[in-house]
């Protein structure tokens, strides 16, 4: 289990990270720009004792994940924006049946077929429960290939801990980018025991039958189930907010960005700091729960702050920033969409307009 | 000597058992059960399908054979058969 | 001294079902439970219930069960069986579930030759939602969405999914049975047992299409419904081994 330095793409790091985290079931359907994940799983999953299925559609893939997860296996699927729209049915069922699963969305630009260039315009879909019903997925966003790899362990752990679907939200830029990472090369897959998952379908030997369901025919029963989901979401909100802060102590302007935009924003922050500008950055790592606490805290400490959300969309995450600061300080937005990636120079120009 | 027992409270009154009894020993009860349906009932004496006039056992129908056709066709597991 | 000769299947809970009087679902549930008992596999079975009238089949069977979204039962089953090949996995699906919204999942699971058992209930109508046209609705049959009867020019023909599936090399066994008489019910049970035995022996995809009655949405009494099956339905959907 020696650590190993490897050069790998973001997509491959996701697959390798999932295998290292004990993922033993993958089902997917090809779509650009995430095809390296399905190809990596096709070659590695059977080698290491897991199950790989190329599904006939994204619908089938997410429902296969539902089945595998129902048996207690760590299961995942991956896709990109249009494919993730198709998976929403299954994600709603996973949430309703309280099944753990990991769903990777390497976002491309939309709406519709859009194009295959990177975007962050599925933020609403991921964080607002993209399917029907009152539910939330935990949403994690990585900003480097190493973080993609490490995040898979966290994703599966959170999914199991809360019996909840977890979405990994990346974009085509991060998926295709290659960087050296330190990986634990684990083979075969280390299975987590099913014994902790007393709810799993394994055959009813020596116990009462288990049922995996999201259907509750009576209003009372469904409301009760929904109350318990809400209680779980509150618990997650309380304990799982994650972010990376940069120069928050003395900043007067704070950029807010996730994923690859955060990396580019960091370049802008660095250049502006070099010129003596008091600027910082918050990079939300959990997009749901959104790391609202740090915003509230900063606003309490300093009433003269300005936030600037930068996104590869026409303004989605910025709504969470506004909700977090609750009108106490100005929140500005700057973004591009349709596959266009903001440059550090564009961000610097926008920051300079603020004063 | 065979017999059947019909769970009159579980019975939904579909009367499929009536149609398959080779001896005509199953009829619909006059009295409603708690579901509000008239369930099937077993009588040791055959009852003609037309007028409900009891026939003598051994003539048209005769005694229950314990053939289980009624239990086989019952969609709700309401019939126990003794033989 | 006479003895009780039929016993309530162990794999079927002793609770009343929500099905209408004369509905074939109760019968089909019982036959599966009897087969599971006779094969001694209750503790290994994992069932997948459909969306449709049988959506709460897991309330009636006494073994492990999962729900599946409408039409997705065979995707769910594929994964369960692949992850746990020693369990006996079956889906229970209606005509809308298996042959309309889930046709893709059905054909591809069959084509992959998944070692699964499928019990396909064909009653030629959507029961749960109020009697609309199913893919298997007969020509001229009146439903809530074919008020003048199914017209092939407007609605196409009754879909013979079993015959389509039989063309696929991955499919091991397909038989069409009917629940319209005690004799046919006995044959149906034999076919269901075969489909489970095939899975136990690792032979591959096995499907039993069960013609079943829906007196409520056919607008017939339970007995008339069985007559209609015998006289009309089996002409469109001939019984017997298809593959």
Task: For chain A, give every domain's residue range.
Answer: 3-204+226-239, 245-353
Q: Which residues of C touch B (CB under 8 A)?
A: 2-6, 8, 12, 14, 16-17, 19-27, 30, 181-182, 185-186, 215, 221-223, 226
pLDDT at C129 over 60: yes
Handedness of CA A211, A214, A218, A224 (dihedral sign): positive
Work out the number of other CB atoms within 10 angstroms of the CB of residue C174.
Answer: 25
Mean of the pLDDT values across residues C163-192?
Answer: 98
Q: Is C5–B66 a contact, with Cβ atoms under 8 angstroms apart? A: yes
Q: Note the pLDDT of residue A303.
A: 85
Contacts of B among chains (3+ CB pairs under 8 A)? C
**Of C105, C97, C25, C24, whose CA–CA distance to C57 is shortest?**
C25
Contacts of C among chains (3+ CB pairs under 8 A)? A, B
Q: Note the pLDDT of residue B59.
A: 47
Q: Is C77–A217 a contact, with Cβ atoms under 8 angstroms apart? A: no
Mean of the pLDDT values across residues A185-191?
Answer: 67
pLDDT at C163 over 50: yes
Mean of the pLDDT values across residues C134-147?
Answer: 98
C3 within domain boundaries: no
Work out the number of other CB atoms within 10 angstroms of the CB of residue A76.
Answer: 31
Mean of the pLDDT values across residues C147-152?
Answer: 98
C162 dihedral zone (left: phi>0; alpha: psi -120 to 50; beta): alpha
Interface A:B, ≥3 CB–CB pairs < 8 Å: no
pLDDT at B23 over 70: yes
Chain B residues within 8 A of C121 when measuring between CB atoms? none
C51 within domain boundaries: yes
How close does chain B come to C32, measured CA to CA in Å? 13
Using N-to-C axis directions, what is the helix angle for C103-111 and A58-70, rounded to 10°? 70
Distance CA A302, CA A276 (A): 19
The count of domains in chain C is: 1
CATH number of the domain encompassing residue C127: 3.40.50.970
Render pLDDT for A117-133 as a digit per residue (tens, 0 to 9).
Answer: 999 999 999 999 899 99
A309 dihedral zone (left: phi>0; alpha: psi -120 to 50; beta): beta
**SS3 call for A309:** strand
Does C229 lie at the interface with A, CB-CB under 8 angstroms? no
Q: Note the pLDDT of residue B1.
A: 81
**Of A148, A155, A189, whose CA–CA distance to A1 is shortest?**
A189
CATH class of A3-204+226-239: alpha beta
∠ at Cα C44 (C40, C48), nearest 5°? 115
**Of C85, C86, C83, C89, whose CA–CA distance to A191 is shortest?**
C83
Quote the percentage of chain A above a pLDDT of 90: 94
Q: Note the pLDDT of residue B56.
A: 46
Mean of the pLDDT values across residues A200-206?
Answer: 96
C11 within domain boundaries: no
C10 within domain boundaries: no
pTM here is 0.96
Q: Is A98 in contact with A163 (CB distance < 8 Å)? A: yes
pLDDT at A251 over 80: yes
Q: Is C165 in contact with C106 (CB distance < 8 Å)? A: yes
What rounded mean pLDDT belongs to chain A? 96
Q: Is the peptide bond before A34 cis (omega within 30 degrees of 0)?
A: no
pLDDT at A294 over 80: yes
C182 within domain boundaries: yes
Does A214 lie at the interface with C, CB-CB under 8 angstroms? yes
Using N-to-C axis directions, what is the helix angle for A58-70 and C73-83, rounded to 10°? 50
Q: Which of A331-335, B56-60, B79-83 has the lowest mean pLDDT?
A: B56-60
Structural domains of chain B, ranges and CATH numbers in brackets: 1-83 (3.30.70.20)
Contacts of A among chains (3+ CB pairs under 8 A)? C
* Domain containing residue C119: 24-241
User: In chain C, where does DSSP find H-type helix?
Assistant: 24-39, 57-60, 73-83, 95-96, 103-111, 152-155, 161-166, 182-200, 215-218, 222-228, 234-236
CA nearest to C189 within chain B: B72
Q: Note the pLDDT of residue B48.
A: 54
pLDDT at C30 over 50: yes
CATH class of A245-353: alpha beta
C7 within domain boundaries: no
Chain C residues within 8 A of A63 when measuring between CB atoms? 68-69, 72, 75-76, 79, 105
Expressed in angstroms, the distance from the first to the final Cα of chain C is: 46
Question: Which A positions 250-289 lie with beta carbon below 8 A of chain C?
Answer: none
């Amino acid at each position: 289990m020696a650590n190993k330095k490897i050069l790998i793409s973001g997509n491959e790091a996701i697959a390798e990270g999932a295998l290292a985290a004990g993922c033993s079931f993958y089902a997917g359907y090809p779509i650009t720009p995430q095809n390296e994940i399905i190809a990596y799983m096709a070659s590695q999953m059977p080698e290491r004792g897991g199950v790989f299925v190329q599904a006939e559609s994204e619908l089938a893939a997410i429902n296969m994940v539902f089945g595998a997860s129902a048996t207690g296996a760590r299961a995942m699927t991956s896709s990109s924006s249009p494919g993730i729209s198709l998976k929403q049915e299954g994600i709603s069922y996973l949430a309703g049946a309280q099944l753990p699963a990991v769903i990777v969305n390497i976002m491309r630009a939309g709406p519709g077929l859009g194009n295959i260039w990177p975007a962050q315009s599925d933020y609403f879909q991921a964080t607002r429960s993209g399917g029907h019903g009152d539910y939330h997925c935990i949403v994690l966003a990585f900003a480097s290939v190493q973080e993609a790899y490490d995040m898979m362990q966290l994703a599966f752990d959170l999914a199991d801990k809360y019996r909840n679907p977890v979405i990994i939200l990346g974009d085509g830029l991060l998926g295709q980018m290659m960087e050296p990472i330190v990986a634990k090369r684990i083979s075969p897959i280390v299975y987590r025991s099913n014994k902790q998952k007393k709810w799993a379908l394994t055959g009813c030997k020596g116990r009462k039958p288990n049922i995996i369901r999201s259907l509750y025919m009576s209003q009372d029963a469904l409301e009760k189930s929904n109350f318990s989901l809400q209680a779980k979401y509150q618990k997650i909100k309380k304990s799982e907010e994650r972010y990376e802060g940069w120069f928050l102590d003395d900043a007067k302007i704070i950029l807010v960005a996730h994923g690859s935009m955060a990396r580019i924003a960091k370049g802008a922050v660095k250049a502006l700091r070099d010129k003596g500008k008091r600027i910082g950055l918050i990079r939300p790592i959990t997009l749901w729960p959104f790391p609202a606490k740090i915003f509230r805290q900063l606003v309490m400490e300093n009433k003269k702050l300005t936030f600037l959300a930068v996104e590869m969309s026409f303004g989605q995450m910025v709504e969470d920033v506004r909700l977090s600061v609750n009108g106490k300080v100005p929140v500005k937005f700057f973004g591009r969409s349709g596959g266009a990636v903001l440059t550090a120079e564009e961000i610097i120009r926008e920051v300079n307009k603020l004063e | 000597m065979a017999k059947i027992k019909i769970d009159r409270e579980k019975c939904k009154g579909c009367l499929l058992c009536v149609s398959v009894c080779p001896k005509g020993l199953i009829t619909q009860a006059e009295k409603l059960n708690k579901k509000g349906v008239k369930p099937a009932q077993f009588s040791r004496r055959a009852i003609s399908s037309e007028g409900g006039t009891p026939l003598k056992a051994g003539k048209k129908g005769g005694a229950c054979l314990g053939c289980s056709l009624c239990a086989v066709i019952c969609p709700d597991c309401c019939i126990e058969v003794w033989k | 001294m006479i003895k009780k000769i039929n016993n309530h299947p162990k794999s079927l809970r002793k609770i009343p079902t929500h099905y209408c009087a004369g509905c074939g679902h109760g019968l089909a549930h019982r036959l599966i439970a009897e087969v599971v008992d006779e094969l001694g596999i209750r503790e290994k079975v994992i069932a997948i219930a459909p969306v449709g009238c049988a959506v709460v089949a897991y309330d009636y069977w006494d073994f492990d069960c999962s729900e599946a979204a409408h039409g997705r039962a065979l995707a769910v089953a594929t994964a369960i069986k692949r992850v746990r090949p020693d369990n006996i996995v079956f889906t229970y699906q209606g005509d809308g579930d298996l042959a309309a919204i889930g046709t893709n999942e059905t054909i591809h699971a069959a084509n992959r030759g998944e070692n699964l058992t499928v019990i396909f209930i064909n009653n030629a109508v959507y029961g749960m939602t109020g009697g609309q046209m199913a893919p298997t609705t007969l020509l001229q049959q009146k439903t809530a969405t074919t008020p003048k009867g199914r017209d092939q020019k407007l609605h196409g023909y009754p879909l013979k999914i079993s015959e389509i599936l039989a063309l696929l090399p991955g499919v091991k066994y397909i038989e069409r049975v009917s629940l319209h008489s005690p004799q046919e019910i006995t044959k149906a049970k034999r076919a269901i047992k075969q489909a489970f035995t095939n899975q136990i022996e690792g032979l591959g995809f096995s499907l039993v299409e069960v013609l079943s009655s829906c007196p409520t949405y056919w607008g017939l009494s339970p007995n008339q419904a069985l007559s209609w099956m015998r006289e009309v339905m089996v002409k469109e959907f001939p019984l017997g081994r298809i593959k």
